[in-house]
């Protein structure tokens, strides 16, 4: 009798993928593709580009799977590949090129704002509307948890430029949230 591999455990799934078992690969893809597409969408506004990057990421994951050493989270290891692939796409495509604004700091008024009535989806939309450089650093720092030094290494910028981009992204988000505030209060109040 044929013994079916156990894909209900991470270890069984990894072993199946390493053996080239198509059903294991499909199971891994089905399990994580939604999460990884969401990550790609945070970096690349265009869904088509994001889907391409997600697929390229899975190809890299399968290609490098033998390098996973069970140190830390398997999902975290895969996420790092997905983020790296998204960043490489940003860097290599001229029309997606990151603009890193080093010229004069924009003045932001000190608006009072509250997020109590703002949905997560609305906030993600605001983040998507940030300039590519701001959005990329914001995602890497605030969402993915990279340090400014790691961001600098990944993007080929200095640590201080990363900090500056994060600060500008936060200020831009504060402005956007403040400008929505009357609309939010009318809709919910």
Give dist(CA 14, CA 74) in Å, integer: 9
Domain count, the chain: 2
**pLDDT score at 6:** 65
**pLDDT score at 113:** 40
Give dist(CA 75, CA 56) in Å, integer: 16
Residue 153 counted as domain residue? yes
Q: What is the DSSP string of the chain?
A: -------SSHHHHHHHHHTT-HHHHHHHHHHHHHHHHHHHHHH-SSHHHHHHHHHHHHHHHHHHGGG--SSS-HHHHHHHHHHHHHHHHHHH-GGG------S-PPP--------TT--HHHHHHHHHTS-HHHHHHHIIIIIS---HHHHHHHHT--HHHHHHHHHHHHHHHHHHHHHHHHHHHHHH-
Residue 108 counted as domain residue? no
Give dist(CA 153, CA 143) in Å, integer: 17
Task: Residue 70: give the domain boundaries.
Answer: 10-96
Of the three residues 43, 62, 96, the one that is the final residue of a domain is 96
Give dist(CA 145, CA 154) in Å, integer: 13
**pLDDT score at 21:** 92
Say whether both 67 and 14 belong to one domain: yes
Q: What is the mean pLDDT of each run of 10 residues along the chain (189 residues)?
A: 62 92 94 94 88 95 93 92 91 60 40 50 83 90 90 89 92 85 52
Residue 147 counted as domain residue? yes
Residue 113 counted as domain residue? no
Backbone angles phi, psi at 186, to 5 degrees: -70, -35
Say whether both 77 and 128 belong to one domain: no
**pLDDT score at 5:** 54
């Amino acid at each position: 009798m044929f013994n079916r591999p156990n894909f209900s455990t991470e270890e069984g799934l990894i072993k199946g993928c390493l053996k080239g078992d198509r059903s294991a690969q499909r199971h891994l893809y089905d399990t994580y593709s939604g999460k990884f597409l969401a990550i790609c969408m945070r970096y690349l506004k265009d869904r088509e580009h994001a889907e391409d990057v997600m697929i390229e990421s899975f190809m890299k994951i399968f290609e490098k799977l033998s390098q996973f050493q069970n140190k830390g989270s398997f999902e975290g290891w895969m996420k790092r590949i997905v983020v790296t692939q998204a960043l490489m796409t940003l860097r290599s495509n001229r029309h997606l090129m990151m603009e890193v604004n080093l010229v004069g700091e924009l003045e932001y008024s000190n608006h009072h704002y509250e997020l109590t009535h703002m949905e997560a989806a609305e906030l993600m939309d605001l983040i998507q509307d940030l300039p590519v450089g701001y959005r990329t650093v914001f995602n890497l720092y605030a969402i993915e948890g990279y340090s400014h030094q790691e961001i600098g290494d990944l993007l080929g910028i200095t640590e201080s430029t990363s900090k500056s981009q994060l600060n500008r992204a936060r200020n831009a988000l504060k402005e956007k949230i403040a400008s929505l505030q009357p609309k939010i209060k009318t809709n919910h109040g």
